[in-house]
Structure 1
Amino acid sequence: MPIDNSQINALVLDFDGTITKQDTISVLASIGQIFQRRHHHSVKQPWDSVVEAYGRDFQDYTSTYVPAAVDRTSLSEELNFLRGFRDIESASFGRVGDSEIFRGMNKADFSMAGHEALRDGTVRLHDGFSEFMTCAALQKWRIYVISINWSSSFIRGVLSGFPIDKIISNEIRSDGIIVGPGILGPPSEETVLATCLDKAHALKALVAEQNLDIDNIVYFGDSVSDIECLIAVKGIIMSGGPDSSLIKTLKRTVYGCLHSDVGRKVATCRQQREYLAGSGEPECTQEDYHAFRRLRVPQKCFKCAMLDSTKLRARQLLDSMKADVDKCVAARGGAWASSREWRVASSTSNDNKHIRY
């Protein structure tokens, strides 16, 4: 769906994977470990055990969730699945706090660490981001960041060289506990941003707080945690190829074959299969960005072309027959046979078909 630049009033960007080339949570963990060693503090829980516990929870949830991924073919089903990660993410946040890996660090520490991580190349921004921000400044677009990262101060340090109007993300208190952003209420463990729904709530709160026109906002995201924001406004997907989790999810839940347009699905066409496999373009699909926004894209596969061609020829034939009948009726003063059924020889087959009009 084309975007009119003249109507844009704000850009909202995800951080990890959208602005940066990689996820930065591991960078944050490394920063915390270095800080504790420098101050001769020991963590209560080894970092590897925190990572392993999250991995087990993730695997248990994804492997036992019903319906399974292959059976989740609608956006609503997928959103229910993604929102269910809230408990898993919250538990992981709690384990991070309990480990005390960030205990004693303040906002200035995280901001400085973010700035240094960008400077020494530990964190890398996507190619063209600086030019993009320069263009945004010339257009006088307001720039916001919404992220489920653990530290908004760290993000602020990474992006300290750019004019960001507001960063909405979690924060790490000096006791090492991760809390949510103030835009959703008093910062607490209950208000953390952890899922796609949390980010959508944050976007809604941002729109209200900044008095933005939601129809003229563009959101940039790269992961499944961005889905609800991407469909709430004008969305741009950041992806290096067809194998990203977000692209695969959208292919599975948003696209359907247009063969069903004739009343029943006759087959899964070759081009649709190639598209779903990531090796073709969505030429034979119906793209459903949202329940209220449908876009029929050009169809070019052989079966769809044949079906549309057959329907067109049938309609043209019926229109021609009706015109001939009307002429005969007019010529005979209305004295014409009352029969409304005709035997019509098919131009593409030796069989005859009954066609009614």
Structure 2
Amino acid sequence: MTNVIISDFDETITKKDSILVFGQLPYYKDPEKFPKWTHYTDNYMQGWNKYSNQAPLRRLPLLDSVSTETISHDNYTTLFSKEIQYQDYLRKIELHSTNELSRLNHFTGIKYLIPEYINHCFNNKSIEIKDGFQPFLNCIYSHNDIFYVLSINWSREFIIEVINNERLTKTNVFCNALELKDSEYNGCFSNKLLTGSDKMLYLNHIIKEQSKQKNGCKFWYVGDSETDLLSILHPSVNGILLLDPSENMTKFKNIVNNILGLDQNSINKFLRDNVSIIQLPIEKCNKNGVYLAKTWDSIENLLYNGNITYHKKN
């Protein structure tokens, strides 16, 4: 059985969102570059204010749609049709942002400074990798399992350099990639991977391709945010929501209570200090499951020891 692990990048592999950090790359080359980054953050909020009020109505919490049903290939898109429509609509907001970055040539002509810039970011701790991730990745490769990154970040090159493992290649990194020409960004984005519904489509592609090549694949998806939930709930994968309440209780409560609607017993169990991973009472076809995890250590233990009673290391 081959494990195929698909992971989000920002705040799943990294400790903090790194899109802002990558956005500063042109200023590393030219500190006087205009406009300043605040222009783009203001532009994003303008797009949000313009489009968000017209968004399709979400059906929240998501698990109310499931009730006692088993999530299957037959009912998945029906159960979560409102969320898929909502995520599809959010493309307008994301395109409003990336189109402005392209219009003003924010990344145009940037040569391959990424390794140098990432060293700078690691040194000043604007980028940090989550504890346990690198040992987890090494464990995956030692078992000849397969690893993908599926992210709405803007650069394959950036993601690969941050992860810094020679076995991770561009073919296994999917993101809203800036286009390269002769080792320079031309300023344009692929604009194919912008939202949670886009991630779902790419996940379908990975599952289809790997199922052709391997006999007996077991698929896993790891993510931390609203954008990951459609993938975590996908019937073909074991979905893992990687959230440590001690790091961001507000985010944890919003996702598990407001967006997902988890039962209080599961939440209380997970909040215990010595508990690092639990399986949630969400039924999927083919014995796939949904998990809440605090650490990469606990995910490694689940995959390779089959243990869901993992306790946090002191």
Q: TM-score range by the shorter chain?
A: 0.5 to 0.7
Give the Cα–Cα distance (whole angstroms) in 1 for the partners of residues 225 and 138 of structure 2: 25
Aligned to 2:189: 179
1:207 and 2:207 correspond: yes
Q: 1:84 aligns with which of 68, 89, 111?
A: 89
Partner of 2:227: 225
| Pair 244,176 (structure 1): closer, same or farther in 2 beyond 3 Å | farther
How far off its partner does 1:198 sit?
Answer: 1.1
| Structure 1: gaps of 5 or more residues | 1-6, 181-188, 257-271, 296-357
3-state SS of the aligned residue for 2:130?
Answer: coil
Measured after TM superposition, the shift of residue 84 of structure 1 is: 1.5
Cα 1:20/1:213, change in 2 over 3 Å = farther
Q: Is 2:53 aligned against 1:48?
A: no
The change in CA–CA distance for 1:221 and 1:214 in structure 2 (over 3 A counts) is farther
Partner of 1:168: 174
* Cα 1:154/1:118, change in 2 over 3 Å: same
Change (3 A) 1:100 1:131: same
**Residues 6-25 of structure 1: matches in 2 within 5 Å?**
7-25=1-19
Moved more, 73-82 or 221-230: 73-82
Tell me how far 1:216 sits from its aligned partner: 0.6
**Offset, 1:89:** 0.3
Matched, 1:144 2:148: yes
Higher relative contact order (CA 8 A, sep 6+): 2
1:77 and 1:294, CA in 2 relative to 1: closer, same or farther beyond 3 A? Answer: farther
TM-score normalised by the chain length of structure 1: 0.60
CA apart distance, 1:46? 3.4
1:125 Cα deviation from its structure 2 partner: 0.4
Following superposition, the deviation at residue 71 of structure 1 comes to 7.7
Q: Which of these residues, 115, 118, 125, is aligned with residue 114 of structure 1?
A: 118
Secondary structure of 2:12 counterpart: coil
Contact 2:106 2:187 (C-alpha < 8 Å) held by counterparts:
no
Point out the structure with max Rg over C-alpha: 1
Alignment of 1:1-357 (within 5 A): 7-37=1-31, 42-43=33-34, 45-63=35-53, 65=55, 67=57, 73-74=64-65, 75-106=80-111, 108-161=112-165, 163-165=167-169, 166-173=172-179, 174=184, 176-180=186-190, 189=191, 192-210=192-210, 211=213, 216-232=218-234, 233-241=237-245, 243=249, 245=251, 248-252=254-258, 254-255=260-261, 275=264, 280-281=268-269, 287-288=281-282
Task: Give 3-state SS (helix, strand or coil) of 1:58's partner.
Answer: helix
Contact 2:156 2:173 in 1 (8 A): yes
Identify if the C-alpha distance between structure 1 residues 83 and 66 changes in structure 2 by more than 3 Å, giving closer, same or farther. closer
Distance 1:80 1:26, change over 3 A: same
Report how many aligned residue pairs link the two structures: 253
Tell me the alpha carbon deviations over residues 258-313 of structure 1, each in whole angstroms, 9 at most, x when there is no partner.
Answer: xxxxxxxxxxxxxx6xx29x97359xxx9446699899xxxxxxxxxxxxxxxxxx
Asked whether the equivalents of residues 36 and 101 of structure 1 are also in contact (C-alpha less than 8 Å), the reply is no
> Is 1:219–1:234's contact at 8 Å kept on the other side of the alignment?
yes
